[in-house]
Amino acid sequence: MSGRVVVVGSANVDLVVDVPRHPGPGETILGGELRRTPGGKGANQAVAAARAGRADTTFLGALGRDDAAGLLLASLERVGVRTDLVARSDAATGAALITVSTDGENAIVVAPGANELVVVDGDAAARLAEADVVLAQLEIPLETVLAAAHARRRGARFVLNAAPSRELPEEAWDAVDVLVVNEHEARDLARLPEAADGAPPHAAAPGATASDGEVPDDDPAALAARLLRQVPAVVITLGGRGCLVAERGADPVAVAAPRVTPVDTTGAGDTFCGVLAAALADGAPLADAARLASAAGALAVTRPGAQDAVPTAEETAALARETYETVGER
């Protein structure tokens, strides 16, 4: 293991019910048995980074003092995630109410609880300063995300999975080295208003013009070009269609997804982010890291649960080798 990853983010107990379809407003429907499983975007990503077997992984988060906290710590520690920087508080551990339909699609509502209390203190800052990759999402306070980004050492990469999407201040855009978003999040972020004088706030990406304020919703390359004005690299995940890797000054790379039959998509994006971060920390180029991440994400959707569905490094490598010509293995 040569890389070091710190994942800063949320941890939730997932309360999951399988449903024939998602209920509409005001509607009650009957589902299957309730499952209580470890989740939360941050903790899921930490588990995936550790299971990738390429990076020493720390999770920086906050839990309550309840049963759910025990479930989450056990899941993180089982795969070797360092949990010494996980704060404990009297707030309830975060919880997510999840319905999963028969086609594997989910709908999620999060009660953040202790996730609101994640902070970067002195010990955390010291660990962040040793990391090769700092990975964060947006289920914790934005100030904490920014503090984590600022605590990284020069040369370390800050990877932001902007999920759930929200408006980002200029300071956040400036901190990001690699932005990872799905198509919905990309659309939300790409519709940012132009700067007052009509000029883009950052250097334009190749092919982007100041007049392309309206970004076609269905064109990932256009979305990526728009986002490259804000950040140096973007990965847009496209579900079963794979992902698009775009870096300033280079042609975008389309990465196909391995063909699988989805059972539960919950946490598949988190698996993708965690594996991507671990591979980057271990020195893989972004497109190779995205291939491994796509293989891991594809395996994750074939299994129920979030952390419980994260594949091993061997499983991921085997599927990646079957699917791609180069996979960035050591």
Give the residue numbers annotated as catalytic, written as ranges.
270
3-state secondary structure 200-220: CCCCCCCCCCCCCCCCCCCCH
Q: Nearest distance from residue 203's CB to ligand RIB, in Å?
A: 32
> H-helix or E-strand containing 320?
helix 313-323
9 is a site residue for ligand RIB (CB under 6 A): no
Instruction: Return the sign of the alpha-carbon dihedral for residues 286, 288, 290, 292.
Output: negative
Structure tokens at 181: 């978003």
> Considering CB under 6 A, how many residues would be counted as binding ligand RIB?
16
Q: Nearest distance from residue 99's CB to ligand RIB, in Å?
A: 12
Nearer to ligand RIB, 266 or 323 (CB): 266
CB count in 10 Å sphere of residue 139: 24
Nearer to ligand RIB, 98 or 295 (CB): 98
64 is a site residue for ligand RIB (CB under 6 A): no
147 to 186, contacts with ligand RIB by CB under 6 A?
none
Burial class, 7, CB count within 10 angstroms (exposed 0-12 / middle 13-18 / buried 19+)? buried
12 is a site residue for ligand RIB (CB under 6 A): yes
Residues 6+ apart with CB under 8 A from 125: 147, 151
Structure tokens at 15: 């309360």
68 is a site residue for ligand RIB (CB under 6 A): no
Question: Residue 181 and residue 179: Cα distance in Å, rounded?
Answer: 6
270 is a site residue for ligand RIB (CB under 6 A): yes
Question: Residue 280 and residue 49: Cα distance in Å, rounded?
Answer: 10
Nearer to ligand RIB, 37 or 323 (CB): 37
Q: Which of 83, 144, 266, 316 binds ligand RIB (CB under 6 A)?
A: 266
Residue whose tokens read 């999407």: 165
Compute the CA torsion angle 128, 168, 14, 281 (nearest 10 deg).
-30
Q: Which of 6, 10, 47, 205 binds ligand RIB (CB under 6 A)?
A: 10
Compute the CA torsion angle 80, 81, 85, 91 (nearest 10 deg).
-110
97 to 126, contacts with ligand RIB by CB under 6 A?
108, 110
Question: Any bridge partners for residue 213, and if so which?
Answer: none
Nearer to ligand RIB, 95 or 287 (CB): 95
Q: What are the helix (H) ranges across 24-169?
A: 41-51, 67-78, 122-128, 142-151
Contact stretch for ligand RIB (CB under 6 A) within 35-43, 182-190, 217-225, 247-255 = 35-43
Q: Which of 306, 309, 310, 320 binds ligand RIB (CB under 6 A)?
A: 306
Contact stretch for ligand RIB (CB under 6 A) within 192-200, 233-241, 250-258, 263-271 = 263-271
Q: Nearest distance from residue 265's CB to ligand RIB, in Å?
A: 9
93 is a site residue for ligand RIB (CB under 6 A): no
14 is a site residue for ligand RIB (CB under 6 A): yes
Nearer to ligand RIB, 86 or 222 (CB): 86
Q: Which residues of this chain interact with ligand RIB, rule CB under 6 A?
A: 10, 12, 14, 39-41, 44, 96, 108, 110, 139, 266-267, 269-270, 306
